[in-house]
Amino acid sequence: MDSNDFIFTKEICENKLDHLINIVEKMEYTLETKISPDKTYSFWKNKEGA
């Protein structure tokens, strides 16, 4: 392993963080739609402006 493998620029960190946030949001949305299909108390309903 090269020592450069552990150097992350601000841009790389932001991209990785954005990617993780997208994954988590998709998981939350999927779980919520399975648990509460009518979305009566939906965070996503408010977020999407629906």
Structure tokens belonging to residue 12: 């790389």
Tokens representing 2 are: 């090269």
The count of other CB atoms within 10 Å of the CB of residue 39 is 14
Domain boundaries, the chain: 7-48
The full DSSP string for 1-50 is --GGGG---HHHHHHHHHHHHHHHHHHHHHHHHHH-TT-TT-HHHHHHT-
- List per-block mean pLDDT (blocks of 10 residues) for the chain, which spans 50 residues: 71 94 89 67 56
pTM, rounded to two decimals: 0.51
Residues near 2 by beta carbon (within 8 Å), at least 6 away in sequence: none
